[in-house]
Amino acid sequence: MESLEKKLHEAALTGNIDLLQSLLNKDPLILDRVSLNYSSETPLHVAAILGHVDFAKEIIRIKPHLTSEVNSQQSTPLHLASGKGHVDIVRALLSVDPDSCTARDKNGLTPLHLAAVKGRVEVLKVLLQAKSDVARFRVYNGETILHLCVRYYQLEALKLLVRAVEGPELVNARDDDGNTVLHLAVADKQVETVDFLTSVCGLEVNAPNLNRMTPSDILIRTKPDPLRDPQIQECLGNGPTPAARNPVQHEHWLEQKRNSLMVVASLIATMAFQVGVNPPSGVWQDDGGPHVAGYAILAHNYPGSYVRFYGVNTTGLVASLSIILLLVSGLPLRRRLFVWALMVMTWVAITAVALAYVFAIFALTPTEQEKSILYVVGWYVIVWAVLMALLLVSHTIRLMVKLSGALRPTRRRVMLVPQAV
């Protein structure tokens, strides 16, 4: 008997149907005996691995129950044929045992999952026709079949599965860490996969994982890649920064900005008001000659400097009061455009206070000291002007880039509808 079983194994290795028939004539129960005595592969397992189509079909015809036998790894012949990409054997196995699609091996994988991991697209089509619901089965760590496609770099299998399974639930499914397939693709910097996923209608581009990190947050925190990072960021969108896409973080960011602007505006308004009612050099204390008590001494002695001083001081006061008014008005200042406008008004108010100081210094400096003061203040004004110009230009460029990204036409979206496979 042992020699017959050895010859049966040789027949499976070579796909020799004549030898198989000869052995069955000598021992009609040899296939049953092998399935009972061997804990590893049956002849059908061997044929499924090696792709001996006719041999496998013959065994299936004679002993169809062998399609459900498992080996030491809990793999059925369908697992092995699917992993190897033998489409004809897969069809033959499914014709007698379609429920074998749901069988799991030692690692918890179904034949569909194995075909996806190996990128067997044609096998995937056949298996999905048999039982498409298997695509929703979870494996280790709560991962879906799409997670496996991304993890094993099987983009074509991913595309087929996304188009074949109805609804956005699968593409938005999270593993035990809260990561979607987009999180994995961004973390691994798979540009083509990210590009495809972000074109899928219904995909949650800004979904946070259990660590409250969106795909954009993950892109920022991974090792920089000058070549692929810009492409991934373009796929994810050039809209708000990652913190702004998270509603909680965005609200916290706005609250901090509002509080900071309120403090600065209040200080500037207080300073401008005090300087306005208590001008440099003080006021006349008596009525005498051309002056009147309570009038500014500076206005009498240096009328030109007085006008310039009060012009910039009033500008600072009005700008700071406008900021305070907008912040307490209750208007929905939730857009970065409004925050940007408030910041520019703050720069104007600060600059006005600085200029008021310069005009006051010149008005209070004796004539013989004006040249030295002019030299010091001149450099101060130049540095200040350059700094303000750089801030204004940089923030304006950032704003224009964000607005252009928001106005850019959206790419064609892939509709999640079932397709014939």
Q: What is the pLDDT of residue 253?
A: 59
DSSP string, 281-325: T-B--S-BTTB-TTSBHHHHH-HHHHHHHHHHHHHHHHHHHHHHH
CATH topology agreement for domains 1-137 and 163-237: yes
Output the six-digit token pair for 302: 């240096």
3-state secondary structure 10-64: HHHHHCCHHHHHHHHHHCCCHHHHHHHHCCCCCHHHHHHHHCCHHHHHHHHHHCH
Q: How far apart are CA 201 and CA 168, in angstroms?
A: 8
pLDDT at residue 92, rounded to an integer: 96
**Cβ count within 10 A of residue 96:** 14
Task: Give the whole-angstrom CA distance, residue 127 versus residue 83.
Answer: 12
**Which pLDDT score, from 0 to 100, does residue 90 have?**
96
Tell me the domain boundaries of the chain. 1-137, 163-237, 247-407
Question: 185 phi and psi, to 5 degrees?
Answer: -65, -40
Who's near 412: CB < 8 A, 6+ residues apart? Answer: 199
Q: What proportions of the chain, in percent to the nearest 5, are helix, strand and coil?
A: 70, 0, 30
Q: Strand, helix or coil at 349?
A: helix
- Distances in Å between the Cα of 319 and the Cα atoms of 6, 225, 312, 353, 355 are 95, 43, 10, 11, 14
Class of domain 163-237: mainly alpha
Q: Domain 1-137, what fold?
A: 1.25.40
Tell me the angle at which helices 17-26 and 30-37 cross, rounded to the nearest 10 degrees.
90
Q: Answer for the pair 186, 232: CB distance below 8 angstroms, yes or no.
A: yes
Cα→Cα distances 386→315, 344, 355, 369, 376, Å: 20, 15, 15, 26, 16
Phi, psi of 358, rounded to the nearest 5 degrees: -60, -45
**DSSP symbols for 226-256:** TTTHHHHHHHH-SSS-HHHHSHHHHHHHHHH
Q: Which amino acid is at 22?
A: S
**Residue 67 per-residue DSSP state:** G
**What pLDDT score was predicted for residue 337?**
66
pLDDT along the chain (421 residues), means of 10: 77 91 87 70 92 94 91 93 96 94 94 96 96 92 95 96 89 94 95 92 89 90 88 73 45 69 88 82 70 69 77 89 83 65 84 83 71 74 81 74 54 45 39
Residue environment code for 285-300, b if the CB has 16+ CB neighbours within 10 A, otherwise e: eeeeeebeeeebbbbb
Burial of 227 (0-12, 13-18, 19+ CB in 10 A): exposed
pLDDT at 244: 41
The two structure tokens encoding residue 407: 């106005």
User: What angle separates helix 53-62 from helix 17-26, to the nearest 10 degrees?
Assistant: 30
pLDDT at 399: 64
Query: What's the pLDDT at 288?
Result: 67
Q: What is the pLDDT of residue 248?
A: 46
Which tokens hold the place of 144?
């879906």
